[in-house]
Structure 1
Amino acid sequence: MNSESIIECVPNFSEGTDPAKVSKIVAAMQVEGVRLLDWSLDTAHNRSVVTIAGSPDAVVESAVRAAGKAAEIINLTQQHGVHPRIGAADVIPFIPVSGASLADCALLARNAGLLIWRRYGIPVYFYGAAAARPDRVQLEDVRKGQFEGLRDAARRDAARRPDVGGPELHETAGASAVGARSFLIAYNVHLRDADVTAARAIARDIRASNGGLHGVKALGVLANGRAQVSMNITDHRTTPMRKVYERILELANRHGAVIEDGELIGLIPQDAYEANAEWARNIPNFDPALKVLERRLERPLDWLKT
């Protein structure tokens, strides 16, 4: 890994209803050598996702600054979200794009976690390839109980305390899960019926942990008045998007539901994109120039001004 290596980072923040707050976080992330590729607010889940890429040290610095700004303006004791969360800067994953390995990104994650604690007093849990313990490899295990539950558990159970900092969580900003992983595709499908029962049944049947598709994590939730199957696809090469969509259609038919449309949160890698695929046509206003990582790297967004 060297200064020409490209690292992606996709921090998730526990704020999706106030564009002004999210804009301040994004603006704070501007660092020389870092490109802004995408950012979005999800009001239904009260969550925002930012995608950046650039040289390793610069991306670490950008992510650390984001955690500090999020802690400054997000108070977890005064908000709730459908999506599980433990921190203002909830999840900060580092992903290799070119000239770097997953092991390299794990080292970057460890460095970022130390900086977040030293600068801002926000404790950190390491997950994914950066996990310091086997029981923290899976993000859902780290976030068990969410902010409120983890805050109480960390006080009474040494096994739930942060890897860096603490032992208690930050009073209003919680903790950050900092990790390293391969590409993850955040893909949601909306059902026509607002009854969340079918969405939960589809999510149960498609997720890998229940014997469904390899590399698929799924939840059935109610989002903006519509039932939604919210998925993370962690291995798109083994389980391509078309296979996920085909299985969703099968399960929807089995459970008496109708697929309305889909959405991507953040970007997808070029090798996951299939021109004219049905799953892509089902996403309103889908534009590969804006949603494919490699294409976005060539035409990044302008940084926001505060």
Structure 2
Amino acid sequence: MSKALVECVPNYSEGRRKDVIEAIVAPFKDRPGVYLFDYRADEDHNRLVVSLVGNPDALQDALIDSAKIAQSHIDMNSHQGAHPRIGAVDVIPFTPISGITMEECVQLARSFGERYHQETKIPVYYYEDAALIPERKKLEVIRKGQYEVLKEEVRTNPDRKPDVGPSELHPTAGATVIGARKFLVAFNVNLGTTDVEVAKKIASYVRASSGGFCHVKGIGLALEERGMVQVSMNLVDYEKNSLYRVLETIRMEAKRYGVSVVETEIYGMVPAGAILESAAYYLQVAGFDPDQVIEMRLLKMMGEQG
């Protein structure tokens, strides 16, 4: 897999201490075979999301170095934030880009999980396509009750035993979820109200588990620092449910409560297709073809010419 390219978007339970954030990200900078595309932290979520692309071997080495730094600085027993989490390094997903199949990404995730536990002593759960237990394909199943509940139930409930490691969490770093999946779009819609129940109700209308859109996961959160609430979502297959379709449904439902959409957020990197489809919808462009975008056409020609 020397020519393979993989995307990886590790999430860490730290979004407030700038020195810790920079230390966690440092192993990804100026490292051969690893390309740091983006990293951003949210104080309300108390979460750091890092977007990487690289060679699988180089990525794994960098992820281990970063995890050890996070492990030494984050104590889940005192961690607080709006976003669901079970560990200092909460989730590490691998996505195939080129020169590697999804099946190979699954094997990559599982072998990395074994190494990760061996070097950090943090237990591992596998999710999405790498799941060993069908129910664990869904991240929300693994994170049910979050760190506080899992650290108690993991000792007594066999259904909550990690896939790698003993039936207990790391005393400060919790557990990490590792998997292989398609491109995911982290899409947030912020609403002009402080009533978090409105966001929770709307999230239940759009997420798949409550009868909403397939391939959409969502929760309602309070953004106390900003005086608003958020419908925080993951679109796990943007080709089957577009950003604009989800947004317009949220806008319609918000009107029921006399609430407006203040802004939206795309967290981390996003495929061009997800943005262009919504842009064409709002501009009402008839018969739009992504090749009409100069940069997209140029990249395609460069690829065709090697």
With structure 2 as the length reference, what TM-score do the two structures score? 0.87
SS in structure 1 at match of 2:135? helix
Encode CA deviations 1:232-287: one digit per residue, 9 max, x unaligned.
Answer: 11110011112112212211123321000011110101211228829999xxxxxx
CA 1:78–1:245 in structure 2 vs 1: closer, same or farther (change >3 Å)? same
Aligned counterparts of 1:10 and 1:146: Cα–Cα separation in 2: 20
After superposition, the C-alpha distances for 1:112-139 in whole angstroms (9 at most, x for unaligned) are 1111111111111111111111121111
CA distance in 2, matches of 1:277, 1:93: 28
* Residue type of the alignment partner of 1:245: L
Q: How does 1:129-148 map to 2 (within 5 A)?
A: 129-148=129-148
Q: Does 1:252 align with 2:257?
A: no
Residues 278, 271 of structure 1: alpha-carbon distance in 2 compared, 3 angstrom cutoff? closer
Say whether the 8 Å CA contact 1:242–1:278 is kept in structure 2.
Answer: no
Flag structure 2 segments of 5+ consecutive residues without an equivalent.
284-295, 300-306
Identical residues among aligned pairs (%): 42
State how 1:70-81 maps to structure 2 within 5 Å. 70-81=70-81
Partner of 1:87: 87
Runs of 4 or more, structure 1, over 3 Å off, are 278-281
Residue 201 of structure 1 aligns with which residue? 201
C-alpha deviation, 1:3, in angstroms:
1.6
What is the CA distance between 1:29 and its match in structure 2?
Answer: 3.1
Q: 1:36 to 1:171 in 2, by over 3 A?
A: same
1:189 and 2:165 aligned: no
Instruction: Write the distance in 2 (CA, Å) between the matches of 1:175 and 1:3.
Output: 30
The answer to whether the 8 A contact 1:186-1:231 is kept is: yes
Does the residue aligned with 1:112 lie in a helix, a strand or coil?
Answer: helix
SS of 1:274's equivalent in the other structure is: helix
RMSD: 1.9
CA distance in 1, matches of 2:38, 2:165: 30
CA distance in 2, matches of 1:82, 1:32: 35
Contact 1:202 1:252 (8 Å CA) reproduced: yes
1:199-220 CA distance string (max 9 Å, x none):
1121111111122112111111
CA contact (8 A) 1:9 1:63 kept: no
Indicate if the aligned counterparts of 2:244 and 2:278 stay in contact, CA closer than 8 A.
no
Q: Is the 8 A contact 2:28 2:35 kept in 1?
A: no
Corresponding position of 2:167:
167
After superposition, where does 1:35-50 map in structure 2 within 5 Å? 35-50=35-50
Partner of 1:10: 9
The residue that corresponds to 1:287 in the other structure is: none
Pair 41,278 (structure 1): closer, same or farther in 2 beyond 3 Å: farther
How many angstroms apart in 1 are the aligned matches of 2:154 and 2:198? 35
Rg larger in structure: 2
Give 1:261's aligned amino acid: E
Contact 1:68 1:116 (8 Å CA) reproduced: no
C-alpha contact (below 8 Å) 2:76/2:88 kept by paired residues: yes
Q: Tell me the distance in 2 between the aligned counterparts of 1:142 and 1:64.
A: 22
Which has the higher mean CA deviation after the structures are superposed, 19-28 or 248-257?
Answer: 248-257
Displacement, 1:32? 1.6
Q: 1:278 to 1:191 in 2, by over 3 A?
A: farther
Alpha-carbon separation, structure 2, partners of 1:87 and 1:276: 34
The alpha-carbon distance between structure 1 residues 60 and 33, as it changes in their structure 2 partners (threshold 3 A), is same
Quote the offset at 1:108 in angstroms.
1.1
Partner secondary structure for residue 16 of structure 1? coil
Distance in 2, matches of 1:89 and 1:185, equals 20
Task: Output the TM-score relative to the length of structure 1.
Answer: 0.87
Residue 158 of structure 1: how far off its partner (Å): 2.4
Checking the alignment, whether the CA contact within 8 Å between 1:94 and 1:109 is kept in structure 2 is: yes
Contact kept, 8 Å, 2:242 with 2:277, in 1: the verdict is: no
Question: Distance between the aligned counterparts of 1:131 and 1:213, measured in 2?
Answer: 23
Given that 2:45 and 2:82 are in contact with CA atoms closer than 8 Å, whether structure 1 keeps it comes out as yes
Greater relative contact order (CA < 8 Å, ≥ 6 in sequence): 1
